[in-house]
Amino acid sequence: MNTSRAQVFGAIAAIVAFALPAGDSGAQAVRQIPESRGDVLLSFAPVVKKAQPAVVNVYASRTEKRPRNPLFDDPIFRRFFGEDGNSHPGGPTAQSLGSGVLVDPSGLVVTNYHVVEGMTVVKVALSDKREFDAEIILRDQRTDLVVLKLKGGASFPVLDLGDSDAIDVGDIVLAIGNPFGVGQTVTQGIVSALARTQAGISSSGYFVQTDAAINPGNSGGALVDMRSKLVGINSAIYSQSGGSVGIGFAIPVNMVKVVLAAAKSGGQIRRPWLGASLQHVSRDIADSLGLDRPSGALVADVSSGGPAADAGLKRGDIITAIDGQNIDDPEGLGYRLATKPLGGNAGFALLRSGQPVKASVKLIPAPETPPRDPITLKGGSPFAGATAVNLSPAVIEELSVEGASEGVVIAEIEDGSPAATVNFKKGDIVLAVNDQKIRTTRDLERAASGRAAYWKLTIGRGGEVVTTMIGG
């Protein structure tokens, strides 16, 4: 063997040795130069065999309703065709294909919210070809995660949950899923980056980046480490062609644990509330404060009576770490808070006027004050089919509302309703209807109860205010 080949085998051996699972004692494998070609002919098959049975295919569908045909108002016509006129059996069907991961022997499956969004029928196929109907028991659009419960069966194979804070850039990982519907597929790569927060995928964006090939259909599938433990849920790719170009994103498993715990407890996800608005530290801000780099989360405002105010945080503070974990931006801070259990305190490291300061922040949920008082609008207004609730800190956190601390916000919109046709969005703030200021859901109910030749609407969306006119 010449020198160059020996160097190549040495490099490969170093990578493979680093990837090999530690024994039960946790001791790391010994790194050594290979002495023969057989020393480098290793395989990921043991990792795959352990993980693959817990990765499933998720099929979701929804039959679209066709508009009502006026001929069905004639009872003779209805009797002849045997239909009620509300829908047509031959209507188009919307379908979605993705992957999922079994995380509990009782049949709990974690997948992406966008895989089943708007779907009414969900089926899950296991690697052994068994198929089960599934019920959606928890949706969390904020993290793009959903928990399903398989109907029937027991003692399902599961994938053990790892620790996404324990992985490093360069670690070998495998992506398992159902790309393009061709069947379960395994791809291999490394952790390319951690704490990716600018991927533009979800409002709670904090991702593991990998070059393991992820394609359409892989969404909701498993990203596993070399110990066959789940470290992420594959969620999205960066691509201009629709196929993998080596930039994929996975939701860290530590966030999955929070959503799964909420599903098992049968309640809503309750996250710690900071009670402060944050913004990125720009280069200009960093330079003005004498910082060597633009990093951290700048406190832009503090809510009176919230945990941040009680802990003494002030406008202009820069949060640099929570419980010893560095904070690079507001999204990173949001992730760190969201993965902490309620109760107790978190230690914040701050910079105030360039000087280090420490604070202890209570980990409590956002309050439901005022009460939501949900109203589903009906009648002939543009809001018909929308459900509105009063704004509270809890609602602001849940819907990621920007630009308001009080008022009324749209929480749900029925498919095909006038509100959907007008293009209202979840999180829209209703500020005024026909120049009547809207402060509560009851105000909106009264303002939208009548009929009008036109509707003048003032809506807040994403921190901006728009006034528009819609015909009655």
Binding-site positions: 114, 144, 217-219
Give the closest residue to 30 by CA, choosing from 5, 7, 13: 13
Catalytic residue among 114, 228, 277, 329: 114
Strand duo 131-140 + 145-150: pairing: antiparallel
CA-CA distance, 259 to 144, in Å (whole number)?
Answer: 10
C-alpha gyration radius of the chain: 26
Please say if 323 is a catalytic residue: no
Is residue 463 left, alpha or beta, with left meaning phi > 0 and alpha meaning psi from -120 to 50?
Answer: left
Which residues, listed in sequence order, are joined to residue 112 by a DSSP beta bridge?
145
Residue 219 annotated among the catalytic residues of the structure: yes
**Helix H or strand E segment including 256:** helix 253-265
Amino acid of residue 388: A
Among residues 96, 99, 144, 317, which one is catalytic?
Answer: 144
What gap in Å lies between CA 137 and CA 457, rounded to an integer?
36
Local structure of 80: helix, strand or coil:
helix
Which residues are annotated as part of the binding site for substrate? 114, 144, 217-219
Rounded Cα gap, residues 133 and 202, in angstroms: 27
**Catalytic site includes residue 114:** yes
Could you tell me the sign of the dihedral formed by the alpha carbons of 426, 429, 435, 439, in that order?
Answer: positive
Q: In the structure encoding, which two tokens stand for residue 44, read together?
A: 């990921």
Catalytic-role residue among 219, 228, 244, 417 = 219
Q: Is residue 113 a contact partner of residue 140, using CB atoms and an 8 Å limit? A: yes
CB atoms within 10 A of CB 74: 11
Active site residues: 114, 144, 219
